[in-house]
């Protein structure tokens, strides 16, 4: 191995890479902008949309209830709802978003209440439509209040306290630090996103330096120079690896900034109503970066090996698309609730790194797992580099016609 020759190849590839708009977009711009746009943008948009939906006073319709004036009167007095007159096409009106919901009071409802039987009140709405859900919620709240009032009246009539129905209270409280709650909620997503961008950041340089070189006709030019093929592939690999790392660093930094902004604006809260601590500390960033390191080596070598088989840029893209799915599936699996890091899962590439990133972001450092995952990924990465070097020595791959 000639370090000087490897360095010459690396510097040349770096010069070309910095002049290539296509690879710069995939390696620098996408990781830098994807998270602010996705996280801050979508969350802010969702907040605005929910806020607007909450501000609206929903129009609802009452079906029946002529013989139940008490409930009718109560519903008409609600200032959170606008009651519209009955129409036969009420179902269509809900579907067409002309009204948000409808409530059906069965015939003889009030008499049935007096007699102690249990009539059913139906609420109709448009499932999946947020404004319709709010309308249905308001109706349900009103009916619940009415039901509770009746219960209270009946208890009072029998000289019984309200606590008869609720002899004790139940309250769930989070005891985990908010950093861990944040990590458990969105840590998996951070690992997933960093891994995916590590892959996409390496993809275009890997294609450009292999299939791209074949397509442009420069492969024969470089092979006629005295550099050994091992040094050539290592020089190229270092550039692809650098691109992958740049993507990983930019994506993690971008995520840290995005979450800092989110935390600052209190857009994300825990189920207990507390603001989640989503800021990624320097230790978390460094640890995620450290774990992404061997994975970037693995991705770079595998991408180069596969892309080298292709004769053109387009052909290489079609070979590498299935690989994206192979990476996305285990990365997504790590986000699934209940998927925890086990010794067996620690040996599955991509999934292991994604899971350990999730733990790291929530502030949990299982050093044995971290060491096992780092070592196993290094072994896979070394095997992938070996394979890439072997492929560069195969004439049938380099000159495939």
Q: Measured from the CB of residue 20, what is the shortest distance to other proteins in angstroms? A: 6
- Contact between 73 and other proteins per CB under 8 A: no
| DSSP annotation of 120 | -
Q: Measured from the CB of residue 227, what is the shortest distance to other proteins in angstroms? A: 5
- Output 211 or 278, the one with its CB closest to other proteins: 211
Name which of 97, 145, 100 is nearest 121 in CA terms. Answer: 145
Stretch that binds other proteins, among 1-9, 90-98, 154-162, 366-374 (CB under 8 A): 1-9
- Contact between 28 and other proteins per CB under 8 A: no
- Contact between 223 and other proteins per CB under 8 A: yes
- Output 18 or 49, the one with its CB closest to other proteins: 18
**Torsions phi, psi of 84, nearest 5?**
-105, 155
| DSSP annotation of 106 | P
Cα(246)–Cα(296) distance, integer angstroms? 10
- Contact between 290 and other proteins per CB under 8 A: no
- Contact between 8 and other proteins per CB under 8 A: yes
Name which of 304, 345, 297, 342 is nearest 323 in CA terms. Answer: 304
- Contact between 5 and other proteins per CB under 8 A: yes
- Contact between 366 and other proteins per CB under 8 A: no
- Contact between 1 and other proteins per CB under 8 A: no
User: Judged by CB under 8 A, which of 227, 285, 333, 387 binds other proteins?
Assistant: 227
Contacts 24+ apart (CB under 8 A), 68-77: 68/105, 68/109, 68/110, 69/110, 70/110, 71/105, 71/109, 71/110, 71/146, 72/105, 74/142, 74/146, 75/103, 75/139, 75/142
Q: Measured from the CB of residue 19, what is the shortest distance to other proteins in angstroms? A: 4
CA angle in degrees (0–180, nearest 5) for 76-78-81: 90
- Contact between 16 and other proteins per CB under 8 A: yes
Site residues (CB under 8 A) for other proteins, limited to 323-342: none
Site residues (CB under 8 A) for other proteins, limited to 202-221: 216-218, 220-221
Which DSSP string do the residues of 323-376 spell out, in sequence order?
Answer: HHHHHHHHHHHTTSTT----TTGGGSTTHHHHHHHHHHHTT---HHHHHHHHHH
- Contact between 225 and other proteins per CB under 8 A: yes
Cα(162)–Cα(293) distance, integer angstroms? 62
Number of residues that bind other proteins (CB under 8 A): 22
User: Judged by CB under 8 A, which of 166, 224, 271, 368 binds other proteins?
Assistant: 224
Binding site for other proteins (CB under 8 A): 5, 8-9, 12, 15-16, 19-20, 216-218, 220-221, 223-228, 395-396, 399
């Amino acid at each position: 191995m000639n370090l000087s020759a490897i360095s010459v190849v690396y510097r040349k590839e770096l010069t070309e890479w910095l002049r290539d708009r296509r690879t710069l977009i995939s390696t620098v711009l996408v990781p830098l902008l994807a998270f602010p746009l996705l996280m801050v943008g979508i969350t802010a948009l969702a907040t605005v949309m929910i806020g607007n939906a909450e501000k609206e006073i929903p129009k609802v319709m009452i079906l029946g209830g002529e013989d139940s004036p008490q409930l009718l009167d109560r519903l008409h007095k609600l200032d959170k709802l606008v009651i519209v007159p009955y129409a036969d096409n009420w179902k269509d009106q809900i579907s067409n978003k002309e009204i948000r919901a409808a409530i059906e009071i069965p015939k003889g409802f009030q008499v049935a209440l007096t007699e102690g039987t249990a009539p059913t009140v139906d609420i109709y709405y448009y499932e999946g439509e947020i404004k319709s859900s709010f309308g249905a919620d308001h109706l349900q709240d009103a009916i619940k209040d009415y039901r509770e009032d009746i219960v209270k009246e009946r208890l009072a009539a029998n000289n019984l306290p309200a606590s008869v129905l609720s002899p004790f209270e139940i309250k769930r409280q989070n005891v985990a630090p908010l950093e861990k709650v944040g990590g458990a909620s969105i840590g998996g997503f951070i690992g997933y996103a960093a891994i995916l961008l590590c892959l996409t950041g390496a993809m275009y340089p890997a294609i450009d330096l292999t299939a791209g070189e074949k397509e442009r006709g420069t492969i024969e030019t470089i092979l006629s120079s005295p550099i050994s093929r091992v040094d050539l592939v290592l020089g190229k690999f270092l550039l692809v690896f650098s691109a992958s790392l740049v993507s990983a660093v930019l994506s993690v930094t971008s995520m840290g900034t995005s979450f800092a902004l989110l935390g600052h604006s209190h857009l994300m809260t825990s189920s207990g109503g507390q603001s989640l601590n989503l800021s990624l500390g320097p230790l978390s960033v460094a640890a995620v970066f450290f774990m992404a390191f061997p994975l970037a080596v693995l991705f770079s070598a595998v991408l180069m090996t596969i892309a080298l088989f292709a004769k053109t840029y387009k052909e290489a893209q079609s070979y590498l698309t299935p690989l994206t799915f192979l990476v996305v599936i285990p990365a997504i699996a790590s986000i699934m609730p209940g998927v925890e890091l086990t010794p067996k899962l620690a040996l599955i590439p991509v999934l292991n790194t994604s899971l350990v990133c999730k733990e790291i972001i929530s502030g949990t450092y299982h050093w044995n797992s971290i060491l096992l995952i780092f070592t196993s990924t290094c072994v896979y990465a070394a095997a992938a580099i070996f394979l890439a070097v072997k492929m560069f020595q195969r004439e049938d791959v380099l000159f495939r016609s």
